[in-house]
Amino acid sequence: MGNTLRKVLLPSIMLVLAYGFWISPDFKEISAGVAIFLFGMLALEEGFRAFTGGILEKVLRKSTNRMWKSLTFGFTAATVMQSSSLVSVITISFLSVGLIGLFEGLGIVFGANVGTTTGAWLIAGFGLKVKISAYAMPMLVFGVMLIFQKSKSMKGVGYILVGLGFLFLGIHHMKEGFEAFQNSLDLTAYAMEGLAGILVFTLIGIIATIIMQSSHATLVLIITALSVQQLTYDNALALAIGANVGTTITAVLGALSSNVEGKRLALADVLFKVAAGIVFIALMQPIMGFVDIISSLIGLADDDYTMKLAVFHTIFNLAGVIIMVPLINPLIGLVTQLFKSEPDIHAQPKYLNEASLEFGDTALEALRKETARIYERSIDIIAQGLSLDKADILSDTKLKNVIKAHDKAVEFNIDEVYEHEIKSLCSAVLDYTNRLNVDPVTARQVSRIRLANQSILIALKDVKHLQKNMLQYINSDNAHISSEYNILRQRIAKVIRKLESIRSGEVSATSILSLDALKLTLEKNVSLLHERLDVLIRDGHISADMAISLMNDSNYTYSIINSLIQINHNYLKSEEGSETAAEHMIALNREEINSVLTGNDKIADDGKRRV
Amino acid sequence: MKFNKLLKKLKLYLDADAEQLQQEDEGLSKVLKKLKKKEQALQSAIEKERDDEERELLEQELNIVHSQRKKGIGLLSEIRKKNGAE
């Protein structure tokens, strides 16, 4: 039912939008503005992603590791850019790629709210308006030029510029689209006294800012209206409060394309501004008195309402930040509660707990269970990375038929699951092993568990590399190359299936020794591929490029299989007993396996020498 | 219990190295028995298998098990020699 609804929903929305575009050019322009803006967000995130783990991350971490530093960072950025919403949007993209945390992000946004008040002073004092949107076009041009460069950081800067350019362009189109509504906004028509007036003008401020996509634009409007006495002073203050709330729309729009952290930040920003707005509306009269005191202290005339508005705007944001900074943790708690991240059953270790850490044996058992769990999940990821299905690989169906049934390349982002699940689990295992204090025998077993986890990570990285050409070639028109890549897939699948039967004890109790047969097959397949590759190139069935890809990918396949065997080898070795010790003694080394492969068996003699 | 067995137990108790050798002996014997069974199972599986590719894989595995047994037997006889010498 839900699935059908999802299938119908997207085309329905598109149809409604298309109809809207047909009947209203303004609506079309606004929607295009939103689309361009969101695309800008994606480009911005792509740009910042290039700097994760690099200098930007270091700079950000150093400049936001304390609350006062985050506040200063936000204040400076908003003062320079003359836009708190732009700072919020960039902060959301920092958060989305994990460059900073929610705590630091909120610090920046709060700082930006104070920074943006400098705008009111500039407008009221000098009639000055910094119009950063004029830079959108050059940004796009320079950005695209940089994207075409080879260097990763150049590309990153390019994407950031293009992202900012699109953000401005999007905002520009939204403004253009709303212009029709803006012209019909006559403030004198709503002039009202008392609380009702304050509430109505707050609402007008919110709507005007949403329409004009800029609290500065609203402030210009308020100041102009004030100077020609179209507006009473307290209504102007209410408009400024509304403008402050309405400006969060940009952050909310930006959060649409971001992950849960970005959404939390946007929500926290909205909550902060709405709460501050409510407090100021409730305390409007005493605050107006306070503004008068400050104004006379800095030598403003009693009727200099435009400058008084700037004072009010500053007090409003400054007081909001002073009140909210101590409440930042409850605020984070609230938004985390409201925006729960997707439940991720894999990202948290299941068996590693403090209690099992106390005893060597239980700790080892916990580590073994956790590793087995990570391995199971990794097999699932490897299967998907090969455009296969784990259940099918482990079924009784002939592998040739399994490969045939999955002959279409399916995109699967290994990096994402690697980063969010496997890497964090493996580091939890490593962290746990570092905290263990055990006897030398258990320490040896623990170190094998560590090695098994290391091999899991290597295998996944190799699948990622293999995936690149494989996705292209399994659907190739050239039957020879697609067949070779299917052989590679089948080979990995076969090893996974065999390892599963060894692990489940189907083969025999001599699990470690069963791995030797797999090692033999691995070595044999390498020489077989080389022979086949010669024929394929000689007969002109595949191009030189294909041959190079195939050679590289056959090495990745070798490494994946080897890692899979190593995982199980180390996992099984971590179980100590007289029989497993005997199995280790009997297990063949690479040289011995090669002598079986060539039919030149000297094992008995070698074995005698080893004792 | 016969006197010789008692003597052997006493010797094991006093000599940690001998105990380790004894453990290795027991471990190897058990694994070798399992390998023998596995070898027989593989042989009968090869006879039944009709798919050439699968049969070749089983034969490879049989070769491996055979080599492992040979190696194991060599190791066991060395251990027993050492045990006898002590």
> Residue A610: pLDDT above 70?
no
What's the confidence (pLDDT) of residue A604?
Answer: 42
Half-sphere exposure of A374 toward its Cβ, with a 13 Å CA cutoff?
A: 37
Element (DSSP H or E) covering residue B29: helix B16-48
Highest mean pLDDT, choosing among A387-391, A516-520, A606-610 = A387-391
- Return all residues near A10 (Cβ < 8 A) that are at least 6 apart: none
Distance CA A331, CA A301 (A): 39
CB-based contact A604 B71, cutoff 8 Å: yes
Determine the average pLDDT of the residues in A495-522: 77
Please tell me if residue B63 touches chain A, with a CB cutoff of 8 Å: yes
- What pLDDT is recorded for position A260? 84
Cβ atoms of A520 and A597 within 8 Å: the answer is: yes
pLDDT in tens, A20-30: 888 888 888 87
**pLDDT at res. A560:** 93
Of the candidates A577, A586, A596, which has its C-beta nearest B63's C-beta?
Answer: A596
DSSP 3-state helix, strand, coil percentages of chain A (rounded to 5)?
A: 80, 0, 20
Could you read off the pLDDT of A107-157 as tens digits, one per residue? Answer: 898 888 888 787 677 766 665 455 556 778 888 999 999 999 888 888 888
- Report CA-CA distances (Å) from A116 to A84, A105, A249, A315, B18: 5, 16, 15, 12, 83
Q: Of A384, A377, A321, which Cα lies nearest the Cα of A344?
A: A377
Facing residue for A508 by CB, picked from B23, B38, B75: B38
| φ, ψ at A11 (rounded to 5°) | -60, -35
- Residues in chain A, overall count: 611
Q: Is B31 on the interface with A (CB under 8 A)?
A: yes
The pLDDT of A93-107, averaged and rounded, is 83
Please give the pLDDT value at position A377: 92
Query: A245: burial class by Cβ within 10 Å (0-12, 13-18, 19+)?
Result: buried
Of the residues B63, B64, B65, B76, the best mutation for testing chain A's interface (the one with the most A CB atoms within 10 Å of its CB) is B64
**Residue A322 token pair:** 């002073």
Higher-scoring residue by pLDDT: A186, A248: A248
The verdict on a CB contact (< 8 Å) between B74 and A607 is yes
**DSSP structure class, residue A484:** H
Element (H, E) at A292: helix A284-297
Contact assignment for B75 to A586 by CB distance below 8 Å: yes
- Look up residue A99 and give its two tokens: 């460059």
Nearest CA-CA partner of A241 in A198, A211, A180, A210: A198
Q: Is the model's pLDDT at A39 over the cut of 90?
A: no
Task: Report chain A's mean pLDDT, rounded to a whole number.
Answer: 81
Higher pLDDT, A507 or A263: A263
Q: Which residue has the higher pLDDT, A567 or A285?
A: A567
Q: Are A499 and A565 in contact (CB under 8 A)?
A: yes
- pLDDT > 70 in chain A, percent: 86
DSSP A367-424: HHHHHHHHHHHHHHHHHHHTT--HHHHTSSS-HHHHHHHT-S-----HHHHIIIIIHH
Q: Which H helix or E strand runs over A215?
A: helix A215-227
Tokens 């401020």 map to which residue? A205
pLDDT of A189 above 70: no
pLDDT at A569 exceeding the cut of 90: no
Contact predicate A136/A165, CB 8 Å: yes
Q: How many CB pairs under 8 A join A and B?
A: 97
Closest in A517, A579, A611 to B64, CB measured: A517
Instruction: Encode A506-536 in three state secondary structure.
Output: CCCCCHHHHHHHHHHHHHHHHHHHHHHHHHH
SS3 A546: helix
Kindly list the residues from chain B whose CB atom is less than 8 angstroms away from the CB atom of residue A524.
Answer: 60
* Secondary structure (DSSP) of A62-128: HHHSSHHHHHHHHHHHHHHHT-HHHHHHHHHHHHHTTSS-HHHHHHHHHHHHHHTHHHHHHHHHH--
CA distance A249 to A257: 14
pLDDT reported for residue A143: 93
Burial (CB < 10 A; 0-12, 13-18, 19+), residue A402, is buried
Closest CA to B71 of B82, B63, B83, B59: B63
Query: What element of type H or E holds A238?
Result: helix A233-246
pLDDT band at A611 (very low <50, low <70, confident <90, very high): very low
**Which one has a higher pLDDT value, A307 or A549?**
A549
Contact between chains at B78 and A611 (C-beta distance less than 8 A): yes
From chain B, pick out residues whose CB is under 8 angstroms from the CB of A578. Answer: 23-24, 26-27, 30
Q: What does the pLDDT read at residue A576? A: 62
Dihedral angle sign, alpha carbons of residues A286, A290, A296, A300: negative
Average pLDDT over residues A60-81: 82
Of the candidates A105, A42, A84, which has an alpha carbon nearest to the alpha carbon of residue A257? A42
Over residues A460-479, the mean pLDDT reads: 90
- Over residues A96-102, the mean pLDDT reads 80
User: What average pLDDT does this structure show over A513-538?
Assistant: 81
Share of chain A above pLDDT 90, in %: 12
Kindly state the helix (H) or strand (E) to which residue A272 belongs, with its residue range: helix A260-282
pLDDT confidence of residue B16 = 61
The reported pTM is 0.57
d(CA A261, CA A105): 10
Q: Which of A389, A385, A375 is nearest to A563 (CA)?
A: A375
- DSSP letter at B1 equals -
* Residue that the structure tokens 């994207």 belong to: A147
Confidence of residue A596 (pLDDT cuts 50, 70, 90): confident
Report ipTM for this prediction.
0.75
Distance CA A571, CA B72 (A): 22
From chain B, pick out residues whose CB is under 8 angstroms from the CB of A513.
31, 35, 64-65, 68
The pLDDT tens digits of the residues spanning A264-319 come to 888 888 888 888 888 888 888 888 888 888 888 887 777 777 788 888 888 888 88
Assess whether pLDDT exceeds 70 at residue A224. Answer: no
Q: Stretch A486-494: mean pLDDT, rounded? A: 91
Nearest to A608 among B24, B64, B78 (CB): B78
Count of Cβ atoms closer than 10 Å to residue A494 Cβ: 17
